[in-house]
Structure 1
Amino acid sequence: MAARKRILFVINPISGGRRKNAFKKQVLAALDLEKFDPTFQQTTHANHARELALDAIQEKYDAVIAVGGDGTINEIGSALVGSNVPLGIVPEGSGNGLALYLGIPMNEAAAIRRINKFETVDVDCGEINKHKFFNIAGLGFDASVSESFANDTIRGPLGYLKSIINVLSKYKPKVYKLVIDGQEYERQAFMISVANSPQYGNNAYIAPHASINDGILDVCIVHKFPLYILPMMVFHLFNRSTDQSDYVEIIPGKHIQIQTDDSNIVHIDGEPLELSNELEITIQSKSLQVIC
């Protein structure tokens, strides 16, 4: 009889605003324990998920499962890139953009049962000033929203909506200089999203035709628009038709440089980070295995 695969569940206890006290019991009920030997760890601080994933590589685990949102997935995925240890996902975040794109069930038990098949796909990894991302990185309005959301006590979609309203009332577009695969652009933009997958989460699609394993990033430039257009912009997001908006420009590329007049708040898979005024973005093709 083959040895059971050792898999580590890394649990973010605060992601998505949902308690996870019964998660271990759920795993023991849904996971095929004849095939898998599960271990459980909870994160306690920023970057803890990444530290646990790095330890799991050294300890010869067969997979690391992110129990959280896109931020938790990012920490673990960043550690696993280039290794032969796959990433699994049990979606427990506010948006769950990557999991939705990959077709991973939002139901906890169903997502755990999906792991039993242990089927993997190779996905691309973006890098922005050496910080890895797997879903979307961005600057401008959406980065400001991520910063506001990170500092709020209300989690989940309601907290995200509150952050959007707060930032929208005072946000002003900026001028960006871009070089995409050698071609120069200058744009006054409301925001710029660099998409490896099509959606932020909650089925809000900023780059409807992006693919997570085509070796290309979609640079989505949302131009300055009058406020009365906002309902239509929201419609495009949830109708998978942002590419049809007169205020959205999508340019594919592999090597992207973005320059502004001052430092940038950037979101990396939804987590805010302050970076310099010069951003260099590249892609590593099919560098991470994901169980899906």
Structure 2
Amino acid sequence: MQRKILFIINPIAGSGRALNYREKIADYLNGTDIKYEIVLTESSGHATEIAKATAFEDFDTVVAVGGDGTVKEVAKGLAFGDVRLGIMPAGTGNDAVKSLNISRNFEESMYSIIYGEEKLVDIGIAGENIFLNVLSVGFDAEVVKYTDMVKKHIKGKFAYYLGLIMAFTRYKNKELEIYAEEGRYKGGVLLAAIGNGNYYGGGFNILPLAEMNDGLLDVCIGNDMSKISIIRIFIELLKGVHLENREKVVYFRAKSVTIKPKDYIELNIDGEISLLKEELNVIIKRDALKIIV
């Protein structure tokens, strides 16, 4: 059967790096027997619309060319269907691919898209949103918020570092409830991450025990902390030893988790920020997406 692949490129991902892949993809595939099309997104949500439309075409694989936001949008369009998701990392963070062990090298990722194996993975559902990787609230969500503000003037990793500094100097611990069958947490938190994958924030292994096909959500809560404790916990996070800090970190697994903020709070879903003002139920759907790895 002849392969037919659709590449969905977010032209602004990675400060324009994704757009540069358009010519490289064509050069790589021209002369092969693989049929392909390349489409550029035009607005937020456009990648989902394009991916959904492939249900009426004969594409066997749709490739998200961009960062975590692009991957999330394409995954939303392909979830619970037969068309497979391919990922070509071209964003700033690219956290989802770390959990899937997908290379950021162009040639290696193209090879995987063409010759890789199909893997069934779970997806998280939070209200009307889905996520492939991690949903979070608290400090890290505010880092993303400030980074997005800085990106209007400064591009690349430096924008993230400035966003981190801004969040650190202005952050106040959030009051909320998080509960599941496995237990309940109520009080102030630095952050709370609920995930299907391991990494977020540009490479922090926040959920080291998570597996993307085990039918469970992993939950990590950093409780109420001083500024000094925040520095210490992030050092532990960088070293991958934060779960050993039983005084400051709560970790458990569940099939369903509910977040109830005392007031509004920033919500980070695979790198995209919105405001959470009321109770949110988060569930996991097993084997909901086919991915080429």
Shift in CA distance, 43/213, structure 1 to aligned 2, threshold 3 Å: same
Structure 2 regions of 5+ residues with no counterpart? none
Partner residue of 2:64 out of 63, 66, 73: 66
Is it true that 1:286 corresponds to 2:284 in the alignment?
no
Give 1:224 shift: 2.1
Counterpart residue number, 2:125:
127
Give 1:78 shift: 0.8
Give 1:28 shift: 3.1
CA distance in 2, matches of 1:20, 1:70: 12
Q: Which residue identity is paired with 1:214?
A: D
Matches within 5 A, 1:243-258: 243-245=243-245, 246-258=247-259
CA distance in 2, matches of 1:134, 1:20: 20
Q: Which residue identity is paired with 1:282?
A: I
Counterpart residue number, 2:271:
270
Counterpart residue number, 1:260:
261
- Report the secondary structure of 1:27's partner residue: helix
CA distance in 2, matches of 1:110, 1:50: 25
- C-alpha deviations, 1:178-231, integer Å up to 9, x for none? 221263331310111111111105431111111111111111101122322344
Q: How many residues align?
A: 290
CA distance in 2, matches of 1:116, 1:229: 46
- Report the secondary structure of 2:17's partner residue: coil
Structure 1 regions of 5+ residues with no counterpart? none
Give 1:165 shift: 0.7
CA distance in 1, matches of 2:226, 2:277: 29
Shift in CA distance, 70/13, structure 1 to aligned 2, threshold 3 Å: same
Q: Which residue identity is paired with 2:95?
A: G
- C-alpha deviations, 1:15-44, integer Å up to 9, x for none? 122434542332234348535211001111
CA distance in 2, matches of 1:8, 1:117: 15
CA distance in 1, matches of 2:276, 2:224: 23
TM-score by length of 2: 0.93
TM-score by length of 1: 0.93
Shift in CA distance, 230/82, structure 1 to aligned 2, threshold 3 Å: same
Contact 1:50 1:76 in 2 (8 A): yes
Shift in CA distance, 21/177, structure 1 to aligned 2, threshold 3 Å: closer
Matches within 5 A, 1:1-292: 2=1, 4-31=2-29, 34-152=32-150, 153=152, 154-181=154-181, 183-200=183-200, 202-245=202-245, 246-292=247-293
Give 1:60 shift: 2.7
Percent sequence identity is 30
* Superposed CA RMSD: 1.8
Q: Which residue identity is paired with 2:167?
A: V
- Report the secondary structure of 1:104's partner residue: coil
CA distance in 2, matches of 1:21, 1:165: 30
- Report the secondary structure of 2:221's partner residue: strand
Q: Which residue identity is paired with 1:105?
A: S
Contact 2:17 2:90 in 1 (8 A): no
Shift in CA distance, 255/151, structure 1 to aligned 2, threshold 3 Å: same
- C-alpha deviations, 1:116-153, integer Å up to 9, x for none? 21411111100112310011001111112222222332
Q: Which residue identity is paired with 2:285?
A: Q
Contact 1:150 1:272 in 2 (8 A): no
Structure 1 moving runs of 4+ over 6 Å: none
Contact 2:197 2:211 in 1 (8 A): yes
Contact 1:11 1:41 in 2 (8 A): yes
Q: Which residue identity is paired with 1:190?
A: L
Contact 2:18 2:90 in 1 (8 A): no
Q: Which residue identity is paired with 1:121?
A: K
